Amino acid sequence: MEYFLSEQQKTIKSLARRIAEERILPVRAELDEKEEFPWAIMKDLADADMFRVFIPEEYEGLGGGCLELCLVVEELSRVCGAVATCYAVNALGCFTLMDCGTEEQKRKYLPDVASGKRLTAFAITEPTAGSDVGAIKTTAERVEGGYVLNGTKQYITNGGEAEIYTVIALTDKTKGARGASALLVEKDTPGFSFGKKEKKMGIRASATRELIFRNCLVPEENLIGKEGAGFIMTMKLFDKSRPGIGAQAVGLAQGALEAAVDYTRQRIQFGQPLISLPVVQDILADMATQVEAARALVYAAARTVDSGAKKVTEESAMAKVFASDVAMKVTIDAVQICGGAGYMRDYPLEKMMRDAKITQIYEGSNQVLRNAIAIELRKRRAKTE
Ligand SMILES: Cc1cc2nc3c(=O)[nH]c(=O)nc-3n(C[C@H](O)[C@H](O)[C@H](O)COP(=O)(O)OP(=O)(O)OC[C@H]3O[C@@H](n4cnc5c(N)ncnc54)[C@H](O)[C@@H]3O)c2cc1C
């Protein structure tokens, strides 16, 4: 399929593919087995200017947008969904700062993110606030010179590894979600520590930890945007970041498709390669069609985000939901047509299947996002009546 990428976009995509094949492929199984954060690969990505891709030029980035980010995430995920997560979450961790931060905040933090010197993370989820993010309890009490954070964040990607955290907390707990604000918290701030590292089904090389705040004083200049705007900024952030999860899903599905084609071409049963069996051909044809449809939707959603369109909730949610469902189906089908080999850890498919599952869960589960899409449909119809 022709996606009319610019020369720069093609260069970014092929560079990401090269790093994935040369640096990630040889170690992906080991990283998964050891559940080890891929610091050496983060350095390779930094050396290749991959962290600059999604940062504006004035802050030492390459000035790319959502589509450029998706191209890198797709290529990394084609080889390893976990490494792609460790990389992609840096965009999630600094998009709010990029869109709503002051000039001073951006100058202070973004060049270090662009160079890959400091990783970032984003924290809203809590033990009692998952899909219902409006139920967060972490507080940021206003005091002389800043805010005192108290509470626990759960399941935070890059937790413990990142140095800059965008944390959503209540500056006014009487107002619920409308009293939430976004604060930048640096790793070494007194009162900020890390709880348990989660043991996960998939994306095991990525770190998922609890963040614990106990009387943690954050300077007032670290407030992003206005007090009380934290929840709205988060919804806008997810509108912008969800195509990236779609891209992760597309990459995983593409990787599984290629591995399944390779395996079924060389596996001989009943005197012929498996790929000669009509039933296998049907499955592969469906897999390929679904991957391409998901890619088209993800690129279209990313381009809509980059167009500066005011509201992209629906497009962005559709891309994430569709692509992640495709990734799950395609990776399961790939395991199936490769039989016992597909199930074994010597082959990459069982890992791709485990990695794909998370794309249906994080940044809004697919059930919650289907609700969101339906609400938008209803609103649009009501406007025409
Ligand atoms: C590996 C991993 C990494 C993560 N990284 C981050 C991160 O970096 N930062 C961060 O802030 N969070 C992060 N999260 C949290 C993630 O976004 C949440 O797990 C997700 O939003 C779902 O919340 P929950 O796990 O509490 O599930 P729950 O909200 O308890 O939902 C459980 C089930 O109920 C369904 N459900 C809930 N409400 C509804 C509804 N209204 N309608 C229909 N179905 C519903 C859900 O779809 C789901 O199937 C991460 C999670 C994981 C697993």
Question: Does the C-beta of 87 come closer than 6 Å to ligand 1?
Answer: no
CA-based nearest residue to 185, from 157, 161, 217, 230: 217
- For residue 240, is pLDDT > 90? yes
Helix (H) or strand (E) holding 78: helix 66-79
Question: Does the C-beta of 138 come closer than 6 Å to ligand 1?
Answer: no
Relative to the CA of 131, which ligand 1 atom is closest?
A: 29
Q: How far is the CA of 361 from the centre of ligand 1 (A)?
A: 6
Q: How far is the CA of 71 from the centre of ligand 1 (A)?
A: 25
Mutate to test the pocket of ligand 1, among 155, 208, 245, 324 (most ligand atoms within 8 A of CB): 155
pLDDT (tens digit per residue) in 49-104: 999 999 999 999 999 999 999 999 999 999 999 999 999 999 999 999 999 999 99
Name which residue sits closest to atom 17 of ligand 1, judged by CA.
362
Relative to the CA of 124, which ligand 1 atom is closest?
A: 11
Question: Does the C-beta of 367 come closer than 6 Å to ligand 1?
Answer: yes
Q: What is the mean pLDDT of the chain?
A: 97
Task: Give the pLDDT confidence score for residue 210 in this predicted structure.
Answer: 98
- For residue 384, is pLDDT > 90? no
Q: How confident is the model at residue 233 (pLDDT cuts 50, 70, 90)?
A: very high
Q: How confident is the model at residue 383 (pLDDT cuts 50, 70, 90)?
A: confident
Sign of CA dihedral 376, 227, 186, 221: positive
Question: Does the C-beta of 358 come closer than 6 Å to ligand 1?
Answer: yes
Name which residue sits closest to atom 39 of ligand 1, judged by CA.
368
Relative to the CA of 198, which ligand 1 atom is closest?
A: 1
pLDDT (tens digit per residue) in 100-133: 999 999 999 999 999 999 999 999 999 999 999 9
195 burial level (CB within 10 Å; 0-12, 13-18, 19+): middle
Q: How confident is the model at residue 380 (pLDDT cuts 50, 70, 90)?
A: confident
Task: Give the pLDDT confidence score for residue 381 in this predicted structure.
Answer: 87
pLDDT (tens digit per residue) in 327-367: 999 999 999 999 999 999 999 999 999 999 999 999 999 99
Do the beta carbons of residue 352 and residue 338 sit within 8 Å?
A: no
Q: How confident is the model at residue 148 (pLDDT cuts 50, 70, 90)?
A: very high
Question: Does the C-beta of 208 come closer than 6 Å to ligand 1?
Answer: yes
CA-based nearest residue to 333, from 287, 378, 367: 287
Question: Does the C-beta of 200 come closer than 6 Å to ligand 1?
Answer: yes
Relative to the CA of 168, which ligand 1 atom is closest?
A: 11
The answer to whether the predicted template modeling score (pTM) of the entire model surpasses 0.85 is yes
Task: Give the pLDDT confidence score for residue 94 in this predicted structure.
Answer: 96
pLDDT (tens digit per residue) in 242-280: 999 999 999 999 999 999 999 999 999 999 999 999 999
Task: Give the pLDDT confidence score for residue 243 in this predicted structure.
Answer: 98
Name which residue sits closest to atom 2 of ligand 1, judged by CA.
155
Distance (Å, whole) CA 76 – CA 320: 17
Do the beta carbons of residue 204 and residue 32 sit within 8 Å?
A: yes
Question: Does the C-beta of 130 come closer than 6 Å to ligand 1?
Answer: yes
Catalytic residues: 363
Task: Give the pLDDT confidence score for residue 385 in this predicted structure.
Answer: 82
Q: How far is the CA of 1 from the centre of ligand 1 (A)?
A: 34
